[in-house]
């Protein structure tokens, strides 16, 4: 049974150079790189995976290839399976369960802007649909709605709702959730992983670990073992890179550019995302040099 502790990587979806197709060989290479870096698990088809641009067939194949590769390396897999259509979210939840996922990431319904009661009923319908653990995904900056602590507490009563990815940008929610529920809190925002850990968080679903899996995994191990001095040192070292990946352009644009600069080309981003201007590329080069990330292989 998955414990939701440590570092999990929010994977990019690798495309061909023109963005026209998924590059399945690079899925395997990416999973292997994460395993070599000591990551606990991977999260395909989330925000970083450009999931809204995937066809149903592409989505299914990305999940299947990721699970097959991860099983070879002993990694947990938590696919994104959410939608702003409850029926679609239930369908995808059942699919990832049948494909062998360890849990599913279920985002708050975007664009519709449902009430708290609407979101409660949405997640309960998913939780009732099959026996697969759910990680709630609270990211109001992307979806336009946020789960309140009161709604999270209501949802936590369901045995299949077992964790929450907190990408609210706030540090006051995690301590309340930890105090009032049995949910595991995972950071969904690399710069706030350590502050959330101080409030009872147990790990992160990370963007930065695509580049430096060993460092993110090491930081999580340190705070889970109570070595806060090491965790703080690693956090301070990671912070400029983590901020840059989130602020230089929309995720995953900076990440895909950085990976290409390191020799891990993942193809184009798909419209409506587009390549950044040259100033972003230069800023990423400066960050990678400052972080001493090697151009080939697993970062040091």
What residues act catalytically?
A: 137, 165
Least Cα distance to 296 among 272, 262, 259 occurs for 262
3-state secondary structure 195-210: HHHHCCCCEEEECHHH
Show the tokens assigned to 6.
């440590």
Beta bridge partners of 137: 107, 165
User: Helix, strand, or coil here: 76?
Assistant: strand
Least Cα distance to 46 among 57, 59, 31, 36 occurs for 59
Beta bridge partners of 88: none
User: Helix, strand, or coil here: 14?
Assistant: coil
Show the tokens assigned to 118.
């609407």
């Amino acid at each position: 049974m998955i414990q939701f502790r440590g570092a999990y990587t929010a994977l990019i979806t690798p495309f061909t150079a023109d963005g026209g197709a998924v590059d399945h060989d690079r899925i395997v290479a990416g999973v292997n790189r994460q395993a070599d870096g000591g990551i606990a698990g991977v999260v395909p088809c989330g925000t970083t995976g450009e999931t809204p641009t995937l066809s149903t067939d592409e989505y299914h194949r990305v999940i299947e290839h990721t699970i097959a590769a991860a099983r070879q390396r002993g990694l947990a897999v938590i696919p994104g399976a959410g939608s702003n259509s409850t029926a679609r979210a239930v369908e995808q939840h059942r699919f990832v369960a049948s494909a062998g996922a360890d849990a599913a990431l279920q985002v708050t319904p975007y664009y519709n802007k449902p009430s708290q009661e609407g979101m409660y009923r949405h997640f309960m319908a998913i939780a009732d649909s099959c026996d697969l653990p759910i990680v709630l995904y609270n990211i109001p900056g992307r979806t336009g709605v946020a789960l309140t602590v009161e709604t999270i507490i209501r949802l936590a009563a369901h045995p299949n709702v077992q964790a929450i990815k907190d990408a609210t940008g706030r540090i006051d929610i995690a301590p309340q959730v930890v105090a009032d529920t049995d949910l595991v809190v995972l950071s969904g925002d690399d710069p706030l992983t350590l502050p959330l850990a101080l409030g009872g968080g147990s790990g992160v679903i990370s963007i930065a670990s695509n580049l430096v899996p060993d460092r993110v995994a090491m930081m999580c191990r340190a705070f889970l073992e109570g070595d806060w001095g090491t965790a703080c040192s690693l956090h301070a070292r990671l912070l400029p890179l983590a901020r840059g990946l989130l602020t230089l352009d929309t995720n995953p644009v900076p990440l895909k550019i950085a990976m290409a600069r390191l020799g891990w080309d993942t193809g184009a981003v798909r419209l409506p995302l587009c390549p950044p201007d040259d100033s972003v590329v230069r800023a990423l080069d400066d960050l990678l040099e400052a972080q001493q990330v090697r151009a080939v292989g697993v970062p040091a």
